[in-house]
Amino acid sequence: MSHIGRPGEPDKRTLRRDFLTMRNRLTADDLRETSAALAGRALELPELARAGTVAAYVSVGSEPGTLALLDALRTRGVRVLLPVLLPDNDLDWGVYEGEGSLARVQHGGRMALFEPAGERLGPDAVTTADAVLLPGLAVDTRGMRLGRGGGSYDRVLARLERAGARPALVVLLYDSEVVEHVPEEPHDRPVHAVVTPSGVRRFGREA
């Protein structure tokens, strides 16, 4: 386990840069293999096995691949919600109807995202999810997640809290991204589990 983030630790911006550098070294074969392994591990989660609705996302670039998992959930009959990035960085949601239902959307100078092309359900749709799959760059031994810094999922977590919704919060990462400690801020909330290609680790919540 890595020991990034001890006292005197790098700030979030530095950590994000370091983790993104590591991801960018991955080959296409690495991405294919980890995507399949990640889907297999995630599908074993009881939280997903009993979920009627799962809020997820479409991986881009060198993120741990999610499409195999999205298709497997949909095959199980799970209603899969995918985010639509709004101009203020908040997230709207739409239903995943298969890879052909995705639209490639360029948001300014950022990396293009794949978003559901169908009906928009509103930002509060995420409160209906039984499980929420979160992107991230790292998670520590307490379940604290290091995101990309855009704040979109901070808003999602705050919305869930305001609504009194208690879905399982699961972050999808590579094995090397489970670390000793990441910096946190008062608004940060721990996730309940991390799924990596080699297994699942839980934080303070039983299945």
- Which long-range contacts (C-beta less than 8 Å, at least 24 apart) are formed by 200-204? 200/41, 200/44, 200/45, 203/141, 203/142, 203/143, 204/143
Does the annotation place 151 within a ligand binding site? yes
Whether the pLDDT of residue 1 is over 50: the answer is: no
Measuring CA to CA, which residue among 91, 126, 123 is closest to residue 107? Answer: 91
* From 34-43, 105-114, 196-205, the region with the lowest mean pLDDT: 105-114
> Does residue 21 sit in helix, strand or coil?
helix
Say whether 174 counts as a known binding-site residue.
Answer: no
Regarding predicted confidence, which is higher, 184 or 94?
94
**pLDDT category of residue 111 using cuts at 50, 70 and 90:** confident
Q: Where are the beta strands (DSSP E) in the chain?
A: 53-55, 79-85, 91-95, 102-105, 113-116, 131-134, 138-140, 145-146, 168-172, 178-179, 193-196, 199-202
Is residue 150 part of an annotated ligand binding site?
A: yes
52 is in an annotated binding site: no
Write out the DSSP string of 28-42: HHHHHHHHHHHHHHH
The three-state (H, E, C) secondary structure of 79-104, written as one string: EEEEEEECCCCCEEEEECCCHHHEEE
pLDDT in tens, 50-93: 999 999 999 988 999 999 999 999 999 999 999 999 999 999 99
What's the distance, Cα to Cα, between the start and end of the chain in Å?
24
What is the value of pTM for the model shown?
0.89
On whether 152 is known to bind a ligand per the annotation, the reply is yes
15 annotated binding-site participant = yes
CA angle, corner 98, sides to 160 and 111, nearest 5? Answer: 70
* Of 193, 153, 156, residue with least CA distance to 173: 193
Q: What number does CATH give the domain 12-198?
A: 3.40.50.10420
Output the pLDDT for position 2: 43
DSSP 65: P
- 189 annotated to bind ligand: no
